[in-house]
Structure 1
């Protein structure tokens, strides 16, 4: 009996599970206290008065309590008839279990057939803002649960802004679907929707059916309505099919297919727009994506990701769940890898889909890496890093190269609580075979041999200190590194996977100025850094200051154009937890040549609760791809009162004196419903016919959303922060 009745309460719990109000509109039910000594099928009846007739009829009166293993019934009166095997409770009856509390005028139970009838009921879900009424609740072990003239709402009593009224709800045994007949949806007391029949899931098992629609509006798509349909194909396989109607673009079909096995998982996404009515072209527009992860044999893994689209403006015009309008490359990779405690191996094919006229990236077809680690005697360690790769460019005249790199090393690490030490020496041997190099300064065959030595040490000191008149622990953590790398001319080697790295404080100790292996800079340098922290009584960091610099002991030849002084830029950063609600982060790199700031970021944030946030950001880069970056931004999420919530975001390009993004959202939220208005404007980043990205066109959008809590809606004041071009984040760092 209890199992079948609980299925209905589970259904009601499902549709109200997302009701996350900012305030508790009515108190949850107190947890029920059950007697664990009772066994299955056993009941205990207590009352102020009892009368038993010849062991066949029992009548109870006054504060009647009927306890079972998983439920409790209270009433003014109860009558148990052993001949008819029935129990009837009446007079202010309550039924209470861990899912629900029901109040009614009478409860009738046939103990032989396990049939239960509750009349004139009101119910409330345990620990959830869901409640309603039912004329009768009938339960039968064979036919299941039937509710007649039933209602449901998440609104508090006396303030039913919305409710669902149904003639009947039935739940059949061993079925994962319930059936509703003659359902009427009311706003206040006004009926707005009628459904003669619909079905709903009563378990957490996946079920095929319609999902909640997505409605939006923008200058790019016009009014957009997307209606997903979920298809539960098999236990390990499903799909989502989403027709999308756009007033300015036409009808698009979006599909997502997922599969899962014991060792493998993957997803296939296909999007197709047969004709874009906003353009003069009759060509179809599409996007596809395939992702796979898996394991096979012992310690072997396989991975794949392949993306493609019809044109460079597809993501800008139609949006994407996987890429943003700022992305310029789409991944196309296939890889196999092996690992154990000492060795790891990977084989990868890496290509890109290039958007617009961005520089073509080299494809690695393939790229193999093998790394080996082994312990030697007396604490020494041996390491071997190796790589074999073939680089190809999809341009007709681009150089191609095969690269083999082997780097054995011996190191001695030592670590204690008060410091660490590392001594390491390496031999870097690289061989290149380069083709298609006519009219270039590149050589056909290049062999490069470099030696490298590294000494690194760090200490940690502590002392008792005072921080704003509170006891604290201050640390002093100096670190020093000597690095030597021999020189060899490398201008006859092409750049295949190599770009310059920017050095923040941590990057000072990296020892390399470039990604990849095509340029390994000669070095004879000393790096010095210092960090000091203040920790409170709970060992939480309240303040941290770090700064450091590289001192060049001789002129650098490979990177001579990048370093024009005997020292690097001074790198510094500060993290400061100002009280319990304020947080500040800043970092900067100051040129040792001009004494000017080359890169900097500053962020100040106030957070008093999960939905009360204010953040100010500024970032500056003197030169990045020939451009100066100087931007300031403000992000806020602030409740006006218990019902009204406001979110805003604004980013300004200080150099060009223009706003690059604005976002504003206003939401009203009651206990059981909410309405949200969002407006935004940002750079569109569209590509022109020549493949150049526009920096002058803007896209605007406005959306109105009505949310019913308990019907898939939820409080989303903080969620609005994640929308837009930049989105909310903790204070960001510069790469």
Structure 2
């Protein structure tokens, strides 16, 4: 009887194939009832093993009556059951003709394994010819949502067919959508299925007909068509992209993406992936020849974009490569290479502010190594302008090459030594306007950390040398009277950091907490060195924040080293709930006291600090309850007696999956004042409204406005969203109304609104609550490698 069981996975093949490209998301099936198209069989034993090891289990057949002749014709009548591993088969009667090699099972056929359940009316076949068929099939998947049926299923060897089949993830009594096919031919040896006359029904109404398509039925990668992306907007017109997957080899493949935009032209995209024992990589390319948008908007663009080099090209494209290769346990190489044909490419190919916000696209490649006490690298980077409102001269210097070595080794528990060496060559896109040079930065240091159970003291002494070899033009620009092509700077840096830890048990609102008090001191001493004759390749001011209270340099980059005679005083306190370790309260406050003027600035006239006190820096977080949290940051300048920064953010969880966020941020210099309100409010289990109001008080402009409604069911979702958003740094805006219909377990039609809402509403899914709120408009982080707008010389 084992060959007969080969027929039974046929209904599963179509269900698996239709869900092959549908990603599950959090809470996707939360509204699904427990009713199944094929109910659980109460007399079926628990599955033993998996489909992979069925041949290792014996086959047991039982029934109320057994008649016939052994090895000839045998009849099982009444409550016939067959068990093998995870498989269970039940029928009213079963006849086996051993000499002819035929079998037939009739009446209330039920089958179950670890992945599915099905029922049918008649099962028959010929084991010698390896032909099998089952009539009037209904099936229910177990490991994933999905059910359906077929009028008849036939199998001959590795080839089979399903006639008048159906599939849906909806409950059996509420088929909001269903995919029906006149015939599906399946080749299990090659792992392909071919559907003929497939129709997608919404309720009883057919909405999409596909006369023929081919699809995979297992996890093997195969050449073929993927799901198309279909859309429409005023800029592109009707937009159809048809991905074509090419399975070139076991370790590399390619996806071609021909795309037709009726108002733009034909775009060819491709993605090539490879995987080796020592590395992997992805290469993407897009090419749009003779973009109609370029010619259609040429006169308008000449008026709006005065920088001729930043206008659209006729032939447009994009290139991206990301790869990694490991040579051994110590050394590996990484590359992230990007190119676009013109600075307007991202804006024209994306409607997302998050995607279009960067002013430049960075490329980098390097060789990296690490050991027990050291790390090193040989790298290069480059940037391509992606904001048509800026001149290319404002791009920062690129580093080609850069070599660095970092070493740190503890010799004893109270003695640690280290060094940082960096050698970099700086060049610029326009070397005539921005001549470059080379820089060597060396910083050896020694530290003596002393620690106890409730205290620590960490004195550190370092020496920093920075020397340059400048192009003649740059030396002339820095000091026309006495140009020096080899300026340098060297100075000692000493610091002491110390802290204490106090804790006690306390009770707050009837609950027990661990209350901590953590005072902290940081003293920094760096003598003054004249540095106005040094170039500024990659150095800028760091945003003043809590982390800045404990750094030995207030600049990012090696071109400026602050002089300092200062002491940081800081205090933190926390409330930790003893029952689960969660943090109820976290408060921190700190300030720097400058005993002398800090005379080093980015330029001779900016960035210096007078003796006195810095702004107070305070940060706090408070969990009002398990649903309501509050976070705040505050900086106050005691000299000017004014706010420097105010940041407020509160979050409230509504029901099981709703949320409301309210944030406010003010910064005095560079001036910024924004308010951000976003929410997902569930009206009931099926309906919810979403929205965002992201407004710049300083510019009196809505940065992004979203208003929408969502409808959700067990097997289908609909999102209708109106959006108003800023699309470039000039403040130009776009408006759009977008509709997405999702057929759960199969795919979706329309733009990816789910991803856009997930970006705009922090906590759109509860799994995202741990993420840091995105800063969609700002000036980047404090990392010296981040892109920043370099002032023109």
Question: Which of 155, 164, 179 is the matching residue for 1:164?
Answer: 179
Aligned pair 1:388/2:423, yes or no?
A: yes
TM-score w.r.t. structure 1 length?
0.90
Matches within 5 A, 1:408-423: 408-423=444-459
Asked if residue 631 in structure 1 is aligned to residue 666 in structure 2, the reply is no
Pairing 1:587–2:603 present: no
Please state whether the residue corresponding to 1:324 is helix, strand or coil.
Answer: helix
Give unmatched runs, 5+ long, in structure 1.
686-692
Per the alignment, do residues 136 and 250 of structure 1 end up closer, same or farther by CA in structure 2, a change over 3 Å counting? closer
Cα 1:337–1:717 change in 2 (3 A) is closer
Assess, with a 3 A threshold, how the Cα gap between structure 1 residues 323 and 312 changes in structure 2: closer, same or farther: farther
Structure 1 window deviating more from structure 2 (422-431 vs 304-313): it is 304-313
Name the residue aligned to 2:540: 499
Contact preservation (8 Å) 1:5, 1:139:
no
**Correspondence 1:509 to 2:544:** no
The structural deviation recorded for 1:662 is 0.9
Q: CA deviation at 1:10?
A: 4.5
Q: CA deviation at 1:558?
A: 1.3
How far residue 527 of structure 1 moved from its aligned partner, in angstroms, is 1.0
Distance 1:707-1:242 versus aligned 2 partners, 3 A rule:
same
Q: 1:670 to 1:725 in 2, by over 3 A?
A: closer
Counterparts of 1:457 and 1:33 in 2: how far apart (Å)? 63
Q: How does 1:470-489 map to 2 (within 5 A)?
A: 470-489=511-530
Structure 1 residue 634: Cα displacement: 1.0
Q: 1:527 aligns with which of 561, 564, 568?
A: 568
Equivalent residue of 2:294, what SS?
A: coil
From the superposition, tell whether residues 514 and 321 of structure 1 become closer, same or farther in structure 2 (CA, over 3 Å): same
Q: Aligned equivalents of 1:677 and 1:531: distance in 2?
A: 46
Deviates further, 166-175 or 65-74: 166-175
Give 1:400's aligned residue.
436
Structure 1 position 96 matched with structure 2 position 112:
yes
Task: Find the residue that maps to 1:496 and give its secondary structure.
Answer: coil
Contact 2:661 2:762 in 1 (8 A): no
Shift of 1:151: 2.0
Give how far 1:541 is off: 1.1
1:703/1:465 CA distance change after superposition, 3 Å: same
Cα root mean square deviation, aligned: 3.0
Is 2:585 the counterpart of 1:543? Answer: yes
How far apart in 1 are the matches of 2:196 and 2:656?
Answer: 41
2:596 partner SS? coil
- Do the aligned partners of residues 136 and 535 (structure 1) sit closer, same or farther apart at CA in structure 2, a change above 3 Å counting? same
Inter-CA distance 706–528: structure 2 relative to 1 (3 Å threshold): same
Work out whether residues 4 and 144 of structure 1, in 8 Å CA contact, stay in contact via their aligned partners in 2: no
Select the residue among 545, 555, 563 that pairs with 2:597. 555
Structure 1 725/608 Cα, relative in aligned 2: closer, same or farther at 3 Å?
Answer: closer
Q: Does 1:317 find its partner at 2:355?
A: no
What's the TM-score once normalised by structure 2's chain length?
0.84
Q: Which residue of 1 aligns with 2:408?
A: 373
Q: Deviations over 1:435-464 (max 9, x none)?
A: 312243364322211111121122222111
Q: Are 1:655 and 2:701 counterparts?
A: no
Separation in 1 of the partners of 2:449 and 2:6? 62
How has the CA–CA distance of structure 1 residues 547 and 3 changed in structure 2, closer, same or farther, with 3 Å as cutoff? farther
Correspondence for 1:68: 84
Match of 2:664 in 1: 618
Structure number with higher helix proportion? 2
**1:199 paired to 2:199:** no
The gaps in structure 2 that reach 5 residues or longer are 299-312, 765-770, 782-793
Residue 646 (structure 2) aligns with: 600
Deviations 1:466-522 (A, max 9, x none): 222211111111111111112211111011110001222222112211001111011
CA distance in 2, matches of 1:4, 1:609: 47
Aligned length: 722
Aligned counterparts of 1:486 and 1:83: Cα–Cα separation in 2: 102
Match of 2:486 among 429, 439, 445: 445
Structure 2 equivalent of residue 292 of structure 1: 323
- In structure 1, C-alpha distance between the alignment counterparts of 2:411 and 2:570, rounded to whole Å: 31
| CA distance, structure 2, for counterparts of residue 269 and residue 182 of structure 1 | 34
**1:148/1:400 CA distance change after superposition, 3 Å:** closer
Q: CA deviation at 1:39?
A: 6.9
SS of residue in 2 equivalent to 1:278:
helix
Matched, 1:128 2:166: no
Aligned pairs for 1:297-312 (under 5 A) are: 297-312=328-343
**Cα distance in structure 2, aligned partners of 1:7 and 1:412:** 71
Mapped to 1, the partners of 2:638 and 2:558 lie a distance apart of 27
